[in-house]
């Protein structure tokens, strides 16, 4: 049951995560908001950069505070960050640069949440997956979230088939953002291993 919860969580969460790092949705959206070519392309590099910076210190923090105690608020923050990014397309400001800043502020928050997610995702599963089932389990998980991402990106392509308007791009990102609620719901149901008491603060 808990392994299935983890798979469901990965399906909900991977959609917008992969849309940011591996598709052109956010690049097109950033360009539509008036961001330059360099800043538009930087969006795809934010998650790896945040992971590089946050992975080790956050993993240390989770050993003391608990994985879910850190992850669940962070996922919520990532969702809010994406809502900021969506709202950037509707902000009424005379300077187009302010829209870009609003967008990148939200995307930076979301990318940081994924960097933190990377520190706790696999340790959270360590005690719910029997050793002999790990190969089959992680194979099912990868197939499941890749299918979810593929369906989402195909649907996104159909939405912007002829005209990639800001409203359509906002709708795609909003749907992906709201799916994070599913990630939060299922991760909250996964039991967490005991904290390591022998590590000094």
Question: Could you give the percent of the chain with pLDDT greater than 70?
Answer: 94
Tell me the per-residue pLDDT of 145-167, one tens digit each, with 9 for 90 and over.
Answer: 999 999 999 998 888 887 888 89
- Is the pLDDT assigned to residue 39 strictly greater than 80? no
Task: Provide the pLDDT confidence category of residue 29 given band limits of 50, 70 and 90.
Answer: confident
Write the DSSP string, the chain. -HHHHHHHHHHHHHHHHHHHHHSSHHHHHHHHTT--HHHHHHGGGHHHHHHHHHHHHHHHHHHHH-HHHHHHHHHHHHHHHHHHHHHHTT---S-HHHHHHHHHHHHHHHHHHHHHHHHHHHHHHTTTS-GGGHHHHHHHHHHHHHHHHHHHHHHHHHHTSS---HHHHHHHHHHHHHTHHHHHHHHHTS--PPP-TTS--
Report pLDDT for 4.
92
Which pTM does this prediction carry?
A: 0.86
């Amino acid at each position: 049951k808990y392994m299935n919860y983890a798979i469901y969580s990965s399906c909900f969460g991977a959609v917008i995560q992969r849309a940011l790092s591996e598709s052109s949705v956010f690049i097109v959206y950033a360009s539509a908001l008036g961001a330059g070519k360099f800043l538009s392309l930087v969006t795809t590099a934010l998650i790896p950069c945040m992971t590089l910076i946050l992975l080790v210190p956050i993993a240390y923090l989770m050993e003391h505070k608990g994985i879910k105690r850190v992850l669940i608020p962070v996922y919520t923050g990532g969702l809010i960050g994406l809502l900021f990014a969506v709202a950037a397309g509707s902000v009424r400001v005379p300077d187009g640069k302010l829209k870009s800043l609003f967008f990148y502020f939200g995307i930076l928050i979301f990318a940081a949440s994924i960097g933190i997610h990377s520190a706790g995702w696999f340790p959270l599963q360590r005690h719910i997956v029997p050793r002999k089932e790990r190969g089959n389990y992680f194979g099912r998980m990868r197939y499941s979230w890749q299918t979810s991402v593929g369906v989402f990106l195909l649907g996104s392509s159909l939405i912007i088939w002829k005209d990639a308007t800001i409203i359509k791009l906002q709708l795609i990102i909003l749907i992906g953002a709201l799916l994070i609620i599913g990630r939060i719901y299922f991760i909250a149901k996964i039991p967490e291993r005991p904290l390591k008491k022998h590590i000094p603060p």
